[in-house]
Amino acid sequence: MNVNRGNPGDFEAVVDAWPDFRAVLARRRGEAPADDCYMNMHAAFYCDLGAYQALLESPGAVRWDTAFHIFGMQDGVASASQAVAGAKGVELEVSEYYTYLHPDPSTMPEPRLDPSLRLGSLSAAHADLLDSTWAYGGSARSRRYLAEMVARFPSLCLLDAAARPVCWALRDPFGAGAHGYTLPAHRRRGHMQALTILAARRAQAGGFPVFGHTALGNGPMQRLQEQLGSRRLPGLCRFVLHNPGLGRPGR
């Protein structure tokens, strides 16, 4: 959907066959830096698992000599990726998330905003703050990724009297709600609930599905999604990381 709306993430699609394709990888166009798993992102979809594995094995579909992420909501995305990686003698790290989808954001309650805060959006000037509060931050690569995210995709935040963000929510290159965070001193005041509702309504107005991925151990965000009427989809979303020689992403 991002590709059909101006392609702000600069993606292209790679398929196993044309026109009767059975597997698709959406990936960044051009040549990504060899050590940057954030710039080298893929989203995977398949109707036939064998076709997806064959696509991973085909020359040029994925650069196995670089760091990359593959995101997928089908079980085979991880298993096929692991099989291909094993044959190549490389290691992958797989993270699992729940995916929540809201069927109709217009049914969400009216957001209640703290009168001492005002609604705004993030900019590249906030990249240091975003990076310092992100579990995978702490490097030039992660900071560059976050700066590009807020430059290319919608974001919302709540600003204090000094115009400093105290709570924020972004949308990632695949249209999912991402990187939501509230500064510790401002938690338990309903800020994230208000931003989640406002972000959902904006996504709906733009014709986008309202969904996001939540860490398995993030109980508070899971409860918030369910309180607002989001449905947890069956299965898990898997983020498959190949990061040769770099350890954890962003390090």
Give the pLDDT of the chain (251 residues) as one tens digit per residue. 888 888 888 899 999 999 999 999 999 888 777 788 888 899 999 999 999 999 999 988 998 888 999 999 999 999 999 999 999 888 899 999 999 999 999 999 999 999 999 999 999 999 999 999 998 889 898 999 999 999 999 999 999 999 999 999 999 888 899 889 999 999 999 999 999 999 999 999 988 999 999 999 999 999 999 999 999 999 999 999 997 654 443 33
| Domain residue ranges in the chain | 3-100+236-242, 102-232
Do 52 and 77 meet the contact criterion of CB atoms below 8 Å apart?
A: yes
For helices 75-88 and 49-57, the axis angle rounded to 10 degrees is: 40
CATH of the domain spanning 102-232? 3.40.630.30
Do 37 and 249 meet the contact criterion of CB atoms below 8 Å apart?
A: yes
Residue 230: what pLDDT?
A: 97
pTM: 0.87
Q: How many CB atoms lie within 10 A of CB 62?
A: 22
d(CA 47, CA 115): 49
User: Is there a common fold for 3-100+236-242 and 102-232?
Assistant: yes
Residue 6: what pLDDT?
A: 87
Residue 245: what pLDDT?
A: 55
Q: Rounded to 5 degrees, what angle do the CA atoms 92, 93, 98 make? A: 130
Q: How many CB atoms lie within 10 A of CB 57?
A: 15
How far are the Cα atoms of 38, 220, 246 from residue 133, in angstroms, in the given order? 17, 17, 20
Helix, coil or strand: residue 162 = coil
d(CA 106, CA 239): 30
CATH of the structural domain 3-100+236-242, one choice from 3.30.70, 3.40.50, 2.60.40, 3.40.630: 3.40.630
Do 114 and 158 meet the contact criterion of CB atoms below 8 Å apart?
A: yes
Residue 244: what pLDDT?
A: 64
